[in-house]
């Protein structure tokens, strides 16, 4: 769902916003010198990263609806963003708690989130966007590092994939999965299914049947 939302945000919402601004001429084109403009349709003091451009684009065609529309859109954008990031953070904290038993982690997370939301509402848009960029950048780097660690350490998913590909090349009809042979720990379900020693198997050529 989150991967699909990227297409909705980028291809639909962002493109629609850009076309609204371009078609109505609610934009400025900055020149090489600071404070100079090649095209100036709006006041120079408007920040480029503010919703004012979109607001004026709507206002130029639907007078009186610019501010209500932007307020409505920003409310749902902020609300859904907070929900999404809190869900991601809570999932990570729940995973950490499996190893590190620290009481009150969820409560600390909620306090941090509420404080961050409050801090963002009382500071300037430039600072809020800058902090958002830093946060997204850190999240991207952490994910990249995690993917590299998983790749080079050959974790369970990659071991299972390699085992399946070897069986596929061998032309087997009954695919088997033996966590003991692959050195995969905590696969209790598959160990019980195989009786603890023998590999469990699934008939057919569809690897999706093997979970």
Residue range 73-96, pLDDT digits in tens: 889 888 888 888 899 889 888 888
Q: CA–CA separation, 128 vs 54, rounded Å?
A: 19
pTM tops 0.85, yes or no: no
Count of domains in the chain?
A: 1
On whether residue 148 sits in a domain, the answer given is no
On whether residue 49 sits in a domain, the answer given is no
Q: Which domain holds residue 169?
A: 156-209
Residue found under tokens 């999706």: 208
On whether residue 135 sits in a domain, the answer given is no
Residue 66 has pLDDT above 50, yes or no: yes
On whether residue 178 sits in a domain, the answer given is yes
pLDDT interval class at 23 (50, 70, 90):
very high
Q: CA–CA separation, 202 vs 162, rounded Å?
A: 17
pLDDT interval class at 141 (50, 70, 90):
very high
On whether residue 170 sits in a domain, the answer given is yes
On whether residue 168 sits in a domain, the answer given is yes
On whether residue 149 sits in a domain, the answer given is no
Residue range 153-202, pLDDT digits in tens: 767 777 888 888 999 998 888 888 888 888 887 788 887 776 654 444 55
On whether residue 172 sits in a domain, the answer given is yes
Q: Which residues contact 82 (CB under 8 A, 6 or more apart)?
A: 113, 117
* Closest C-alpha to 79, from 44, 41, 111, 121: 121
């Amino acid at each position: 769902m989150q991967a699909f939302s990227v297409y909705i945000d980028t291809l639909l919402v962002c493109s629609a916003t850009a076309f609204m601004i371009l078609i109505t001429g609610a934009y400025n084109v900055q020149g090489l010198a600071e404070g100079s403009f090649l095209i100036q349709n709006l006041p120079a003091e408007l920040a480029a990263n503010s919703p004012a451009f979109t607001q004026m684009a709507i206002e130029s065609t639907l007078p009186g609806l610019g501010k209500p529309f932007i307020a409505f859109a920003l409310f749902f954008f902020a609300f859904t963003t907070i929900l999404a990031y809190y869900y991601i953070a809570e999932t990570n904290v729940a995973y950490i708690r499996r190893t590190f038993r620290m009481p009150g982690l969820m409560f600390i997370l909620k306090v941090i989130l509420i404080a961050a939301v409050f801090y963002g509402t009382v500071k300037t848009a430039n600072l809020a966007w800058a902090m958002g960029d830093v946060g997204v950048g850190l999240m991207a780097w952490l994910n990249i590092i995690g993917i590299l660690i998983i790749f080079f350490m050959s974790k369970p998913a990659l071991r299972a994939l390699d085992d399946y590909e070897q069986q596929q090349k061998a032309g087997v009809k009954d695919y088997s999965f033996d966590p003991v042979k692959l050195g995969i720990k905590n696969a209790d379900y598959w160990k019980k299914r195989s009786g603890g020693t023998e590999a469990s198997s699934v008939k057919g050529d569809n690897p999706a049947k093997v979970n």
